[in-house]
Structure 1
Amino acid sequence: MDGVGGRRFVRGVNGGQLPERRSWVEQIMGLPVSVLARGDRAWSAPAEAVVQEVFAELVEVDRVFSPYKTDSAVTRLVRGELAWSEVDPVVREVATRCDRARELTGGLFDAIPPGGGWDPLGLVKGWGVELASQRLSGVADLDWCLNAGGDVVVLCPSGRPFTVGIQDPRDPGRVVATVARTGGAVATSGTAARGAHLYDPRTGDPVLTGWLSVSVSGPSLETADVLATAAFVAGDAWPVVLSAVPGYEGLGILADGTLRASPGWNADGSEGSR
C-alpha cells in the first residue's frame, strides 16, 4: 500500500497503482444509489460482482413495490387485481413490517394513505436498502458505504469510520453536520427533496412544522427511516419519538438553520455539528 499526497493506493496489475476507494452509482427507485468500497480489494472482481448484485436486488424491490409502476404488486393490490392471498410472501412480510412500524411510532407512521389503499414506500426504501446491503459483507476486508438518496448504510470491518454528511435542507450543496459511523445507518426525512409531501396519519392533514428535516442514526436503516418520518410528523415532539426506541439518536434542523440534537447524537463517534 502506498500513499501520495494524502491519498492511499494499492498495487495493480504490472505494478500500476489503483486508488484505495472505488464507487458505483445507479439510478434506482427514482433516486441515485451509490456504493463506495474502501480497501485493498476495492477494484477486485468480487467487489464488482457484489455491487451489481446489490443494484439488481434494489431494481427487483422497485419492480415489486413501486406505487408508480402499473404492474407492481402494490399497484395491482390497490386496483383490486390481486388479493393478499395471491401476492408473493415478501409483500405480506413488508405489510407486517408496516403494521409494526405503525405500532412502534404510535400511529405517526402508517402505510395506509388518507384516501385509502396501501403505500409502503415509506418503509420499503429503508428495508430494501438494508436488505441489499447485507450482500456487501460477502467480500471480506472491505469497508462499504451504501447511500440511497441520502439514506446511508455503513459497514466497516476495519474499524475506520466513514463520515456521513447531513445536508442543509435550504442548500443541497452544503453540509451542516457530520456523523462518523463504523456500522449502522443514517436516515433523513424532510421537505428538501420532495417538498411538503408528508401527512399526519392520525388526522389525514398535511404536516405543518417549523422543522425542515430530522436525521436519525442507529443500528438499522429500516428503523431509522421509519423513525425519521415519524419524528418529522411529530414536529416539536420529535425527540420524544426517538427516546422511545433505544439505540437511535436524531438531529433536527429548523427553518432558520438552528440545529437541535438529541442527547446521544454524538455518542457514536460523530464529529458533531457546526
Structure 2
Amino acid sequence: MRTDDQPRPTWPDQPTYRGHPDLRLGPRDPRPDATGGTVAGLLCANHTVRTTTAEYTLRINAPHRLGRRAVGEALRDAVAELRAIDLTFGPARKHSLVSRLRRGEISPESYPPLADLVDRCAAMRAATDGWFDAWAVPGGFDPGGLLGGWAVERAAARLRAAGITDYAVLTGADLVVRGNAPHGGPWRVAVHHPTDNRRAPVVLEMTAGAVGTSGVTGRQGHVVDPHTGEPADQLVAATVVGPDLAVADAYATALYAAGPAGLAWFRGDSPYRALFTHRRR
C-alpha cells in the first residue's frame, strides 16, 4: 500500500501486503530484529536509546565509503540531540525551557529552538480548528502532542548532515524514514491494529515521510478535548502519514480528540493523510 492512497476511516478487512515488513508500528515491538553488520555492501547499524520520556530506535544503512567511524559518530550525534531535547524541553522537568516558559521566566524568543517549537504548536492549533491546543492543558503550555515527533525530526536532520541518506527513526507507534531499506527497496512499514492482534497490519511502502499515531495503546484519558477540558473518548487510535513527524503527530492528536469530524482536514491537496481512525466501542 502506498502512502498516497485515500484516507482509510476504518481498519481494512483484508491484508494490504503479503511481503515481510522491515519495520513494525503498534502494540508489537517496533524495533528491527537485526543488530547491525554488513548487508549488500552497506554498513547497517541499529541503536536504541531511552530518555526519561520515550524510547527511540535508529536504523542506518550507510555506504562503505563513509566508514564505521563516521557512522558511529552520526549515531552518537543523533542520540545526543534526542537526549538534549529531553533535558532542555521536557515539560515534566522543573528547569526545562518549557517549564520556565510556563512560569513566565523567559519568552519564546529567548532561545530559537523554543521559538520554533512554540510556532509549530500555534500553526497546528490553527490548522486543526483548535483541536490541537498546547495551551489548553492543565499547567499551561505543553507541547507534548508534537514534542516527540519534533525530537525525531531534529535527530534525523543530524543523520542527514553526516551524509546518512537511508535511515529510519522510531519511537512508540511513530517513525520517520528516508531512502531505502537494506534490501534496496522502499521501507516496508507494518502498522498493526491498536487492540486486535488478529487483524492483518496495514503495510506502507515509503522512501520519505512519517507516520504519527495517537492512542495506539487504547488507553483512555491521555488526550484532552481542548474545547471542554474532558478526556477525548471517541476513538481508540488515529494515524496520520505525511512529510514531517511533528506535524503528523499533532494532526493525529487533534484527530483523536475531534473524532471522525477531523477527517475534513485532510481533503484537497494536503500532503498529510489520515490513514485510519478506529472508533471506541
Band of TM-score, shorter chain: 0.7 to 0.9
State yes or no: 1:200 paired with 2:225: yes
Which of 131, 134, 138 pairs up with 2:157? 134
Moved over 6 A (4+): 172-175
Which residue identity is paired with 2:224? Y
Structure 1 residue corresponding to 2:116, chosen from 80, 89, 93: 93
Shift of 1:154: 0.7
- The answer for the alignment partner of 2:214 in structure 1 is 189
Alignment of 1:122-161 (within 5 A): 122-140=145-163, 142-156=165-179, 160-161=185-186
* 1:102 maps onto 2:103 in alignment: no
CA positional deviation for 1:120: 1.2
Please say if residues 128 and 254 of structure 2, whose CA atoms lie closer than 8 Å, have aligned partners that are also in contact.
yes
User: Which residue is equivalent to 2:141?
Assistant: 118
Task: Say yes or no: does 1:229 pair with 2:253.
Answer: yes
1:180 to 198, 202, 205: 205
Deviation at 1:231, TM superposition (A): 1.2
1:230 touches 1:241 (CA, 8 Å); kept in 2?
no
The Cα of 1:235 is off from its aligned counterpart by 0.8
SS at match of 1:44: helix
- Mark the CA change 1:113 to 1:57 in structure 2 (over 3 Å): closer, same or farther: same
Residues 85 and 129 of structure 1: is their aligned pair in 2 closer, same or farther, counting only changes over 3 Å? closer
- The question of whether the paired residues in 1 share the 8 Å contact of 2:42 and 2:61 is answered with no
Cα shift readout 1:20-39 (whole Å, capped 9, x = no counterpart)? 53210000252210011124
Which has the larger displacement, 156-165 or 118-127? 156-165
Could you tell me how far 1:123 is from its partner in structure 2? 2.0
Aligned residue-pair number: 244
Determine the C-alpha separation between the residues in 1 that align with 2:154 and 2:268.
Answer: 24
Deviation of 1:92 after TM superposition, in Å, equals: 2.3
- Separation (CA, whole Å) in 2 of partners of 1:26 and 1:85: 28
Given that 1:23 and 1:37 are in contact with CA atoms closer than 8 Å, whether structure 2 keeps it comes out as yes
Structure 2 residues not aligned, in runs of 5+: 1-33
Does structure 2 retain, via aligned residues, the 8 Å contact 1:165–1:178?
A: yes
Give the gaps of 5 or more residues in structure 1. Answer: 1-6, 12-16, 258-274
Report the structure, 1 or 2, having the larger strand content.
Answer: 1
Offset of 1:18 from its aligned partner?
Answer: 8.9
Q: TM-score scaled to structure 2, two decimals?
A: 0.76
User: 1:86 and 1:137 mapped to 2: Cα distance?
Assistant: 27
Native 8 Å contact 2:239 2:274 kept in 1 = yes
Q: Which residue of 1 aligns with 2:195?
A: 170
Instruction: Tell me which of the two structures has the higher relative contact order, counting C-alpha pairs closer than 8 angstroms and 6 or more residues apart.
Output: 2
**AA in 1 matched with 2:206:** R
Higher mean alpha-carbon deviation, 103-112 vs 164-173, is at 164-173
* Aligned position for 1:55: 79
Any residues of structure 2 matched to 1:263-274 within 5 Å, and which? none
Letter paired with 1:229: T
Determine the structure 2 residue equivalent to 1:215.
239
Give the 3-state SS of the residue equivalent to 2:201 in structure 1: strand
Residues 48 and 230 of structure 1: is their aligned pair in 2 closer, same or farther, counting only changes over 3 Å?
same
User: For 1:96 and 1:218, how far apart are their aligned partners in 2?
Assistant: 19
Contact 2:62 2:165 in 1 (8 A): yes
CA drift of 1:165 comes to 2.1
The Cα shift of 1:103 comes to: 0.5
Residue 156 of structure 1: CA displacement? 0.4
Q: Structure 1 vs Structure 2: percent identity of aligned residues?
A: 30
Once the two structures are superposed, residues 80-131 of structure 1 have per-residue CA deviations (whole angstroms, 9 ceiling, x without a partner) of: 4x13178423212211221111001110101113445111121222122112
